[in-house]
Amino acid sequence: MTNPVLAEGLGPFALPDFAAITDADFAPAFDQALTEARANIAAIAANPEAPSFANTIEALEQAEGLLDRVAGVFYNLSGADSTPAREALMRDLAPKMAAFASEVTMNRPLFARVERLWEMRESLELTPEQARVLELYFKMFVRSGAALQGVDAERMTEIKERLAVLSTAFSQNLLADERDWFRPLAEDELEGLPDFVVAAAKAAGAERGQDGPVLTLNRSLIVPFLQFSSRRDLRETAYEAWVARGANGGPTDNRVIAAEILNLREERAKLLGYDSFAAYKLEPEMAKTPENVRDLLMRVWTPAKARAEADAAKLTAMMHADGINGDLEAWDWRYYSEKRRVAEHDFDEAALKPYLSLDAMLGAMFDTANRLFGLDFRPIAGPFYHADVRGWEVSRKGRHIAVFLGDYFARPSKRSGAWCSAMRSQKKLGGETRPIVVNVCNFAKGDPCLLSYDDARTLFHEFGHALHQMLSDVTYQFVSGTSVARDFVELPSQLYEHWMEVPEVLEKHARHWQTGEAMPKALLDKLLAAATYDQGFLTVEFVASALVDLAFHEGAAPADPMALQAQVLAEIGMPKAIRMRHATPHFGHVFSGDGYSSGYYSYMWSEVMDADAFAAFEETGNAFDPATAERLERCILSVGGSVPADAAWMAFRGKTPGVEALLKGRGLVEA
């Protein structure tokens, strides 16, 4: 009998045969798929014919077809519905998959063929998409070090290995510092804390074998403690312990590790021929250069700092009215800000929930996609991979577009957070393949399931990613759907969130699940007003971290990262009562791996674009303007990575993204 993971799919949409697949099927399926992929790669590399786009790039595109199918099913299941067997297989697979990936990029004869094609690219008569795919393959090889020879190649391997060791140590030190520090709270030290914070502190105490409540450095406990504790002395102790993570001296200190990481990154970038690590990292991004990143951050910094300083003056006055003289300190901000929020923006968030049932919000989400892109959604029967999963066929004017699966409820077998994945990606090479796209969330299951406002935004956010996959219309999987620059990939998702807040969408869909009444306007207005609260503080702490990240990776690596951090903060005039969102010794985004190194800015970059992209609709006076929606699909959602991000953006918007819409959205300038 054939392994059901390897089999062609079932039914009209060729879905994986979930009912037949067992955990025992995965390991042999991976073995067979890896063997097949290796044989395919070896055949391409050894092909006696001269390299052509078809026998090299298109062959590479198809070499891992079976592996894609197996991995598509397995990695979705291991994230959304794990079992001990799946976890064990994940651990086994991590080194195997990494080894396979580096075998491909370090395969010299294979690289020689890609390089030859790159050199002859002008004479190959490629379509624009083919030219782009060739460029991306070539750069993937070069950026991973395939072009290096002799001692340089050896040194590159050493650097990569050492960086992997250092980033793991950085994460583990951080975890150790977070785990080891706790402080028992006596009865009189609970002053000001609401019940949910006391309960969380008691739970943390029980976890640590303590009798009573304890304070820990877990973000979900320490942030509410800083918001609510009226004991200024304890807030100071807690805050200083929190920001000292990774900088406590001894074996868990991350400062020396950070310096070594920055040195090795610089050396790696230089070996590859770049001026700096930032230049290397930003090359494939929409931002392209450190100058572009700094320019954007500084345009946001100035109004954000002005807003934060005005807010600081108000909070200082509140503190003085409490009889505490002197300056507002970092451990005072959240406390007085919370008091001010209650005075200015208090409302009962729970009162919103009956209007935000999951079914109502799914209706809103699908209706929006129908009005913008003409998509129809028809429920289809499973079985899917879990009883909670729901499926829809997505079509347009009767033409099949995709299968969409929604897996919305939290369960112990699901990792936390929310995400979108393609179990099968769109492509046309080897025959039109339409995608299977999954959205996974962690909403509390209920009957009915009622969402918080944040949950509803998450629902729309992940569906924006899903549309990017479903509307993809490219030939090559390498550039399909969300295979775009990191600082571009959140544009479709963050943009889609805007439609949830369009008044007519809420009026039509945000209906009380029992009475069918529309959400009261006053409730909604309060919620929207509260959304911009304290954005001066949040923007300042974020931008400061992003600027330090950038400075670390430009030019020569600093001998003392802490000194450079201090210098950057002094230069921008960091307000006294606000510190970086992540200081160097616990800046995991930058040092626990390469993902967001020289890339922390990208969250804000995406926000600038989503705000400006939605402004394109608003400027027409119609949030569903058909011409703008058509342009969005044609220029951005359908092209994936086949067009560079900046060109896709320019085709859609006709001008570079401005920060004005973001500043208005965050309430940093008058709307």
Radius of gyration of the chain, Cα coordinates, nearest whole angstrom: 26
How far is residue 649 from each of residues 281, 369, 382, 488, 654, measured CA to CA in Å?
20, 21, 38, 9, 8
Local structure of 204: helix, strand or coil: helix
**Interaction of residue 592 with Zn ion, rule CB under 5 A:** no
Q: Which is nearer to Zn ion, 494 or 597 (CB)?
A: 494
Strands 376-380 and 390-396: antiparallel
The span of 117-125, 300-308, 483-491, 502-510 binding Zn ion (CB under 5 A) equals: 483-491
Q: Which is nearer to Zn ion, 451 or 491 (CB)?
A: 491
Q: Which is nearer to Zn ion, 278 or 491 (CB)?
A: 491
d(C-alpha 113, C-alpha 90), whole Å: 33
Residue 494 C-beta: closest distance to Zn ion, Å: 7
Q: Which is nearer to Zn ion, 427 or 468 (CB)?
A: 468
The span of 198-206, 395-403, 491-499, 616-624 binding Zn ion (CB under 5 A) equals: 491-499
d(C-alpha 649, C-alpha 654), whole Å: 8
The span of 110-118, 286-294, 492-500, 561-569 binding Zn ion (CB under 5 A) equals: 492-500
Residue 464 C-beta: closest distance to Zn ion, Å: 8
Count of residues touching Zn ion (by CB under 5 A): 2
**Interaction of residue 597 with Zn ion, rule CB under 5 A:** no
> Which residue intervals of 410-502 are DSSP H helices?
453-470, 491-500
Residue 493 C-beta: closest distance to Zn ion, Å: 4
The answer to whether the CB of 214 falls within 8 A of the CB of 205 is yes
The span of 64-72, 203-211, 487-495, 618-626 binding Zn ion (CB under 5 A) equals: 487-495
CB atoms within 10 A of CB 543: 25
How far is Cα of residue 80 from the mean position of the Cα atoms in its chain? 17
Strands 376-380 and 399-409: unpaired
Q: Which is nearer to Zn ion, 369 or 557 (CB)?
A: 369
In the list 357, 368, 475, 493, the residue contacting Zn ion (rule: CB under 5 A) is 493
Residue 471 C-beta: closest distance to Zn ion, Å: 16
The answer to whether the CB of 545 falls within 8 A of the CB of 600 is yes
**Catalytic: which of 58, 61, 462, 490?**
462
Q: Which is nearer to Zn ion, 490 or 554 (CB)?
A: 490
Residue 606 C-beta: closest distance to Zn ion, Å: 9
d(C-alpha 194, C-alpha 185), whole Å: 14
Residue 460 C-beta: closest distance to Zn ion, Å: 11
> Which residue intervals of 214-329 are DSSP H helices?
219-228, 232-243, 255-271, 277-282, 290-321
The span of 53-61, 488-496, 598-606, 621-629 binding Zn ion (CB under 5 A) equals: 488-496
d(C-alpha 476, C-alpha 62), whole Å: 9
Q: Which is nearer to Zn ion, 61 or 490 (CB)?
A: 490
Phi, psi of 9 (to 5 degrees): -70, 175
The answer to whether the CB of 327 falls within 8 A of the CB of 576 is yes
Q: Which is nearer to Zn ion, 315 or 459 (CB)?
A: 459
The span of 438-446, 490-498, 595-603, 607-615 binding Zn ion (CB under 5 A) equals: 490-498
The span of 222-230, 339-347, 405-413, 493-501 binding Zn ion (CB under 5 A) equals: 493-501
The answer to whether the CB of 663 falls within 8 A of the CB of 669 is yes
Please count the CA atoms within 13 angstroms of the CA of 205 that sit on its side-chain side. Answer: 16
CB atoms within 10 A of CB 644: 20
Q: Which is nearer to Zn ion, 551 or 611 (CB)?
A: 611
How far is residue 40 from each of residues 47, 270, 527, measured CA to CA in Å?
11, 33, 56
Q: Which is nearer to Zn ion, 418 or 502 (CB)?
A: 418
Residue 622 C-beta: closest distance to Zn ion, Å: 26
Residue 602 C-beta: closest distance to Zn ion, Å: 11
Please count the CA atoms within 13 angstroms of the CA of 664 that sit on its side-chain side. Answer: 11
The answer to whether the CB of 468 falls within 8 A of the CB of 483 is no
- Reading the block at residue 82, the tokens are 């794990």
Residue 435 C-beta: closest distance to Zn ion, Å: 17
How far is residue 518 from each of residues 257, 356, 371, 450, 537, measured CA to CA in Å?
55, 10, 21, 15, 34
d(C-alpha 421, C-alpha 542), whole Å: 28
Q: Which is nearer to Zn ion, 81 or 610 (CB)?
A: 610
Length of the chain, in residues:
671
Q: Which is nearer to Zn ion, 61 or 497 (CB)?
A: 497
- Active-site residue 64, yes or no? no
> Which residue intervals of 322-438 are DSSP H helices?
330-345, 358-373
- Token pair 């919620």 is found at 527
Q: Which residue is nearest to Zn ion (CB)?
A: 493
How far is Cα of residue 269 from the mean position of the Cα atoms in its chain? 25
CA neighbor of 554 nearest in space, from 278, 294, 297, 264: 278
The answer to whether the CB of 105 falls within 8 A of the CB of 140 is yes
Those residues with Cβ within 8 angstroms of residue 637's Cβ, 6 or more apart along the chain or in another chain: 467, 468, 471, 472, 492
Residue 67 C-beta: closest distance to Zn ion, Å: 25
> Which residue intervals of 476-601 are DSSP H helices?
491-500, 503-509, 521-530, 535-553, 561-572, 588-591
Q: Which of residues 624-653 bind Zn ion (CB under 5 A)?
A: none
Residue 419 C-beta: closest distance to Zn ion, Å: 8
d(C-alpha 92, C-alpha 229), whole Å: 46
d(C-alpha 234, C-alpha 602), whole Å: 35
Instruction: Enumerate binding residues for Zn ion (CB under 5 A).
Output: 490, 493
Active-site residues, by number, are: 462
